[in-house]
Structure 1
Amino acid sequence: MKKTFFTIVMNVLAVAVMAGGIVTNTNQSAAFIRMVAQDASVGVDATYFNPAGLTQLKNGFHLSLSNQYITQTRNIKTTYPGLNQTEFEGGVVAPLFPSVYAVYKKDKLAVSLGFNPIGGGGSAVFEDGLPSFEMQVAGLPPSLNAAGIPTSKYSYETNFEGSSVYYGIQAGVSYELNEMISVSLGLRYVMINNTYTGYLRNININPQFPVLGFTGTMVKAPTFFTSMAGLFGGLAGVAGSLQPLVDGGGAGLTLEQAQGAGYLTADQVASIAGGFALINPAIDPKTLNIGQIQGAYTLATPTFLAQQQAMSANAAATSDKEVDASQSGSGIVPIIGVNLKFDRLNVGIKYEHKAAIKVKNSTKIDDVGLYPDGAEVPSDIPSLFSIGAAFDATDKLKVSAGYHMYFDKSAEYGKRLNNEYVQNDKVMDNNLWEAAFGLEYSLNDKWLVSVGYLRTTTGVMDIYQTDLSHSLSTNSFGGGLRFKLNENLAFNLGVLNTMYIENERKFEANPPVPAYTETYNRKNFTAAIGLDLSF
Structure 2
Amino acid sequence: MKKKVLLGAALMMMPLLSFAGGLLTNTNQHAAFLRSLSRGAAIDIDGALSNPAGLSFLPTDGFRVGVSIQSAFQTRNIDASFGTYNGFDPANQKPTVGNYKKYYKGKAAAPVIPSVFAAYKKGDWTISGFFAITGGGGKASFNDGLPMFESAAMAGIFKESLTNYVASGGKSPIVTPDMYTINSAMDGRQYIYSLQLGLGYKITDWISVFAGGRMNYFSGNYEGYLNAKLKQNLGGSELMALALDCDQTGWGLTPVLGVDVKYGKFNFGAKYEFMTNLNIENNTKKLDYPDSAESLVGAYKHGVNTPNDIPSMLSVAASYRFLPMLKASVEYHFFDDKKAGMAGGKQKELERGTNEYLLGIEWDVIKRLTISGGAQITDYGLSDKYQSDTSFSCDSYSLGFGAKLMLSEKMALNVGYMWTSYRDYTKKSDDYCGTGLPGTNVYSRTNKVFGLSLDYAF
Q: Structure 1 length as normaliser, TM-score? A: 0.76
One-letter amino acid of the structure 1 residue matched with residue 142 of structure 2: F
Secondary structure in 2 aligned to 1:513?
coil
Q: For each residue in 1:204-230, what CA deviation from the matched residue of structure 2 results, as whole angstroms up to 9, or x when unmatched?
A: 135xxxxxxxx97252234xxxxxxxx
Match for 2:388 among 466, 480, 501? Answer: 466
Q: Is the 8 A contact 2:82 2:100 kept in 1?
A: no
Q: Is the 8 A contact 2:83 2:100 kept in 1?
A: no
Residue 455 (structure 2) pairs with residue 526 (structure 1): no
Separation of aligned partners in 2, 1:492 and 1:376: 41
| Corresponding residue of 2:117 | 101
Q: Is the 8 A contact 1:506 1:517 kept in 2?
A: yes
Separation of aligned partners in 1, 2:179 and 2:409: 69
Q: For each residue in 1:128-169, what CA deviation from the matched residue of structure 2 results, as whole angstroms up to 9, or x when unmatched?
A: 111112112322564336845243322022220001111110
| Corresponding residue of 2:331 | 402
What are the residue-to-residue correspondences of 1:117-516 with 2, within 5 Å?
Answer: 117-139=133-155, 142-143=158-159, 144=161, 147=165, 149-151=173-175, 152-201=178-227, 203-205=228-230, 217-222=234-239, 318=240, 320-368=241-289, 369=297, 371-414=300-343, 416=344, 422=345, 424=347, 426-509=348-431, 512-516=435-439
Separation of aligned partners in 2, 1:378 and 1:115: 23
| Corresponding residue of 1:74 | 76
CA-CA distance at 1:81 after TM superposition? 2.8
CA-CA distance at 1:4 after TM superposition? 4.4
Query: Whose strand fraction is larger, Structure 1's or Structure 2's?
Result: 2
Residue 10 (structure 2) pairs with residue 7 (structure 1): no
Q: Is the 8 A contact 2:4 2:242 kept in 1?
A: no
CA-CA distance at 1:423 after TM superposition? 6.2
CA-CA distance at 1:486 after TM superposition? 2.0
| Corresponding residue of 2:34 | 33
| 152-161 or 87-96: bigger deviation | 152-161
One-letter amino acid of the structure 1 residue matched with residue 312 of structure 2: S
Q: % of aligned pairs identical?
A: 32
| Cα distance, 1:332–1:140 mapped onto 2, change above 3 Å | closer
Q: Where do 5+ consecutive residues of structure 1 fail to align?
A: 207-214, 223-317, 417-421
Q: Is the 8 A contact 2:82 2:101 kept in 1?
A: no
Query: Whose helix fraction is larger, Structure 1's or Structure 2's?
Result: 1
Q: For each residue in 1:221-278, what CA deviation from the matched residue of structure 2 results, as whole angstroms up to 9, or x when unmatched?
A: 34xxxxxxxxxxxxxxxxxxxxxxxxxxxxxxxxxxxxxxxxxxxxxxxxxxxxxxxx
Q: Is the 8 A contact 2:81 2:101 kept in 1?
A: no
Q: Is the 8 A contact 1:7 1:136 kept in 2?
A: no
Separation of aligned partners in 1, 2:81 and 2:218: 35
Secondary structure in 2 aligned to 1:95?
strand
Structure 1's consecutive aligned runs of 4 or more residues displaced over 4 angstroms after TM superposition are 82-85
Number of corresponding residues = 421
User: Greater CA radius of gyration, 1 or 2?
Assistant: 1
- RMSD across aligned positions (CA): 1.8
CA-CA distance at 1:7 after TM superposition? 2.8
Q: For each residue in 1:272-312, what CA deviation from the matched residue of structure 2 results, as whole angstroms up to 9, or x when unmatched?
A: xxxxxxxxxxxxxxxxxxxxxxxxxxxxxxxxxxxxxxxxx
Secondary structure in 1 aligned to 2:4?
coil
What are the residue-to-residue correspondences of 1:32-51 with 2, within 5 Å?
Answer: 32-51=33-52
Separation of aligned partners in 1, 2:382 and 2:420: 19
Q: Is the 8 A contact 1:80 1:86 kept in 2?
A: no
Q: Where do 5+ consecutive residues of structure 2 fail to align?
A: 85-98, 290-296
CA-CA distance at 1:98 after TM superposition? 1.1
Separation of aligned partners in 2, 1:68 and 1:168: 16
One-letter amino acid of the structure 2 residue matched with residue 435 of structure 1: Y
CA-CA distance at 1:84 after TM superposition? 6.6
Q: Is the 8 A contact 1:13 1:164 kept in 2?
A: no
Q: Is the 8 A contact 2:346 2:386 kept in 1?
A: no
CA-CA distance at 1:68 after TM superposition? 0.6
Secondary structure in 2 aligned to 1:19?
coil
Q: Is the 8 A contact 1:141 1:153 kept in 2?
A: no
CA-CA distance at 1:16 after TM superposition? 2.4
One-letter amino acid of the structure 1 residue matched with residue 279 of structure 2: K
| Cα distance, 1:410–1:5 mapped onto 2, change above 3 Å | closer
| Cα distance, 1:76–1:488 mapped onto 2, change above 3 Å | same
Separation of aligned partners in 1, 2:356 and 2:270: 15
One-letter amino acid of the structure 1 residue matched with residue 238 of structure 2: A
| Cα distance, 1:111–1:22 mapped onto 2, change above 3 Å | same
Separation of aligned partners in 2, 1:220 and 1:524: 41
CA-CA distance at 1:5 after TM superposition? 4.5
Q: For each residue in 1:337-373, what CA deviation from the matched residue of structure 2 results, as whole angstroms up to 9, or x when unmatched?
A: 0000011010000001111111111111011446211
One-letter amino acid of the structure 1 residue matched with residue 128 of structure 2: S
Secondary structure in 1 aligned to 2:351?
coil
Separation of aligned partners in 2, 1:92 and 1:495: 17
What are the residue-to-residue correspondences of 1:83-94 with 2, within 5 Å?
Answer: 86-94=102-110
One-letter amino acid of the structure 1 residue matched with residue 361 of structure 2: L
Separation of aligned partners in 1, 2:216 and 2:349: 25
